[in-house]
Amino acid sequence: MKKLLAIVLSVAMLLAMTACTKDEKESSDTSATTTETTTNDTTESSESSAAPTETTAPEEEGIGPNSVAVITERVVDTHGQLQVIGTDLCDSAGTPYQLRGMSTHGLNHIGSFLNADVVKTLAEDWGCSVIRLAVYTESDSDDYIKAPDKYFTEVCRCVDLCVDQGIYVIVDWHILNDGDPMKYKTEAIDFFNRISEKYADVPNVLYEICNEPNNGHADPPEQVVTWEDNVKPYAEELVSTIRANDPDNIIIIGSSTWSQDVDIASNNPVEGTNLMYTLHFYAGSHGQELRDKATTALNNGLPIFVTEWGTTNSSGSGDIAYDATYEWMDFINEHNLSWCNWSIGSTIAETSNTLKLSSQMLTVEQKQAGHWPDKFITRSGLFVRSLILGVPFEVPES
């Protein structure tokens, strides 16, 4: 009897030590994702963040089980060509339809991460009906302006992955450091002319022509980027360019002040059909004042698509603003606004990242195989996945 008791105690101690080791590891992985090293709508990271190159074995065995498909619908087969009716995004039958999904970090930051398995995982395991591809125009490293042929090819590769999966895809001309969309207008016209010519007959594709026009990166610094003088004239030329090739697919237009001035745009919108306007928010930084601007725009008949939002403050760092996010979701659902969450695919340590890509708990091959276990998904990622799927989520205690 004593011998049996000794064996039981030994096993219990071993299990306790193992649990402690796993808890410490998980805590370490979580804290690695909350280091403030970059910002989204005010500055760009100075870190070059291509997909991880480590090939070491997982640090921790038995971290599964991995996720499995819960969505089998090919949404484009069901909903077809999108259209704008009033302020609603609608499907081909004219029924209001809400897209929910993820935005990649910059394609120049995520390397080869986005592949068929990852897109399949986002569509079937996470329930994404749309993926936004962020094409950085100006960066501290590689970008579209420096390597247009390279990134045109990469954009087309990623668009084709989404088309093959039967989901919608937003091609995002990711103005950030350039501030004024006019700075690279010639390059933008060339890019969207080629993209719209290639995908004119593909209902999966939406065009976002200017991510976040802003004064924070204006050149010269004293320049003020406004809707009337900068964004609208740019948008009119880009809309004309796209419509010469593609008369139907949705075009999404930014506005001044980091795409927050939708109320100003609503007083003098661009003429055309199937046009929408992006609204960007970070739940930890933007609240009722920005929702009031959105309400004004909607009341003025301006269709809105939230192509980028985050669970944190506008730097992508800090605590996850669960309550504030739920306030935004109430507003979004009330007005049938479609949305993409920022972001997936980067190893930059932002709290708003959805995956622990800088962690070595999985090999590169396992990361790129998709169907990730929950321990590889950040707190923000687990929260956002539940919002996309529309399932309950238990907010962790502080």
36 in catalytic set: no
Q: Is 88 helix (H, G, I), strand (E, B) or coil?
A: strand
Helices (H) and strands (E) in the chain, counts: 12, 10
- Which residue out of 208, 212, 237, 350 is catalytically annotated? 212
Distances (CA, A) of 179 to 57, 117, 225, 256, 383: 42, 35, 7, 9, 31
Cα(187)–Cα(218) distance, integer angstroms: 18
Cα(6)–Cα(8) distance, integer angstroms: 5
Nearest to 92 by CA among 115, 72, 76, 116: 76
- Which residue out of 308, 327, 334, 365 is catalytically annotated? 308
Cα(310)–Cα(351) distance, integer angstroms: 9
Cα(23)–Cα(329) distance, integer angstroms: 32
Cis geometry, peptide bond prior to residue 220 (ω within 30 degrees of 0): yes
Cis geometry, peptide bond prior to residue 240 (ω within 30 degrees of 0): no
Is residue 207 within 8 A of residue 235, CB to CB? The reply is no
26 in catalytic set: no
Catalytic machinery residues: 212, 308
